[in-house]
Amino acid sequence: MLPVFLLCACQVWKPTANTEYQPQALPMGPLTIGAWLPAGLDQFRFGPADQQQLLDLGLNTLEWVQRASQDSATAEEVVMAFCNRAGLRLPVYYEPRGYSPYDKLRNWATRTEVDSAFAAAVRARVQGLHRQWGAAPGFWGYLVGHEDYDRAFYPALRATVAILQGEDGARPALAVGRLDHFRAPGEFLDAFFPAAGAPNIFQHEHYVFRADLPAAGERVQQALDQLGTSYEWVARRLQGRNGRWQAIVQAHGEWRDGAQYYRKPSAGELRVQAGMALARGATGIIYFLYSSGVEELLDEEGKVRGHWTYEGLVDAQGVPAEGFATTRQLNALLRQAGQVLAPLHFHDFFSSSRLRDHPLVRKGEVDLEFGLFGDGEHPTHLLVVNRRPDQARRVVLELSSGTVVDALQGSPLPTLGGQLQLALEAGGFRLLELKETTP
């Protein structure tokens, strides 16, 4: 029998001065469900079976392919053609045709000097990318940053983003990194998120499932505390900004020079990463990583200094590996949740460990998290996350008034004596719609 935990909630909540967040000005928008390195790792592999497997996984976005070629096409062109046919999206990373490998927009966005020729040079390359990709249905945006933490880069990033907005304001710029690793996070965000124009997207990466982390117990909760704090820091930093954030979640195992560094997350650990990110307003879940293989690390002279081995959602031959089936099931749930969340605004995050006198949930047991969403003024939906990735649970929400609907099924949830029983998978989440009772 599943353990029962008791929560107490008041009427459908109205915003008050006690809340820690303000409703985001931007709606959530379509939920991004993506994966890094979808076409092999150390070798390009993207045949018909590989493509069908990506469709079966339920993704809507692919990100970053290696520099490779197939016949007369680049790997990026091959993957973009697939996205065009299949209705998926791909942000472009490499230089436009006819330019050198040092002319990626990222190369320009990481310059330490912005001289008088900078704007014209970047504009020419943006125009080249738009000529090459502008008619492609799968062309999503521009990946201009990847773990570029040095403060000296921010002026060039700001200038690159401004040129992109002027030349192609309909598509976002994307940057990847761990926000707390930036030398000056506020300055980076100021450079990357202009006050007006199309909202850009920051993809935050933070992996906590180290090789020596057990599958259950206090250390797992401590690791999730670190992850939650990291996600929450991003969400707070984006308050009031014209931009969105997405979570790059750990789906891989990793060995560095033969020693295991990360272990693969369990099914519950995959789910809990997604739920914790959504509860803090993330507008996308990106899996790192899809493919498996070996990365050669080079020193400044181009000599091999180490080997890192990655085990992703498929093995080195492209066969589904541990985590593939769970990810497919999770993606089906994310697609449903994304349809409900798309028009809503992120309002608030809180957890059972910090309830105190929260106007919605006043009492609760440990290891539950909540995300609140609504129309920008009044909250209408509550995301409930089970922070225990090793334990399915049945929680009880005690509501003083109102009707609760399963937001994905559209069906009212029965209550008994004002109490609502809610089953949660290990690490799982449920999205509820909160409706006031009509007198």
Question: pTM, whole model, 2 decimals?
Answer: 0.94
DSSP conformation class of 12: S
Q: Cα–Cα distance between 329 and 321 in angstroms, integer?
A: 14
Question: Which position has the token pair 């519950």?
Answer: 268
Within 13 Å and on the Cβ side, how many CA atoms surround 95?
A: 13
- Structure token pair of residue 426: 């290990």
167 neighbors 87 (Cβ within 8 angstroms):
no
What pLDDT, in 10s, does the model give residues 387-428? 999 999 998 877 655 788 999 999 999 877 767 889 999 999
Place of tokens 């033969």: 258
Query: Using the 8-state DSSP alphabet, how is residue 291 labeled?
Result: -
Cα 402 to Cα 47, 397, 414, 416, 437, distances in angstroms: 53, 12, 12, 13, 5
- Alpha carbon of residue 366 to chain centroid: 25
Domain 4-21+345-435 CATH (choose: 2.60.40.1180, 1.10.340.70, 3.30.420.40, 1.10.240.10) = 2.60.40.1180
Task: At 225, list the tokens.
Answer: 């505390």
The answer to whether the beta carbons of residues 28 and 342 sit under 8 Å apart is yes
Task: Tell me 239's DSSP state.
Answer: T
pLDDT in tens, the chain (439 residues): 333 333 443 333 333 334 578 999 999 999 999 999 999 999 999 999 999 999 999 999 999 999 999 999 999 999 999 999 999 999 999 999 999 999 999 999 999 999 999 999 999 999 999 999 999 999 999 999 999 999 999 999 999 999 999 999 999 999 999 999 999 999 999 999 999 888 999 999 999 999 999 999 999 999 999 999 999 999 999 999 999 999 999 999 999 999 999 999 999 999 999 999 999 999 999 999 999 999 999 998 889 999 999 999 999 999 999 999 999 999 999 999 999 999 999 999 988 876 555 556 545 567 899 999 999 999 999 999 999 999 999 988 776 557 889 999 999 998 777 678 899 999 999 999 988 755 5
Indicate the domain borders of the chain: 4-21+345-435, 32-341
| Burial environment of residue 273 by CB neighbours within 10 A (0 to 12, 13 to 18, 19 or more) | buried
Query: How confident is the model over 171-183, as pLDDT tens digits?
Result: 999 999 999 999 9
Local structure of 91: helix, strand or coil:
strand
Helices (H) and strands (E) in the chain, counts: 9, 24
Return d(Cα 217, Cα 285) in angstroms, integer. Answer: 26
227 close to 276: Cβ distance less than 8 angstroms = yes
Torsion angle, alpha carbons of 67, 72, 73, 75, to 10: -30
32-341 belongs to CATH 3.20.20.80: yes
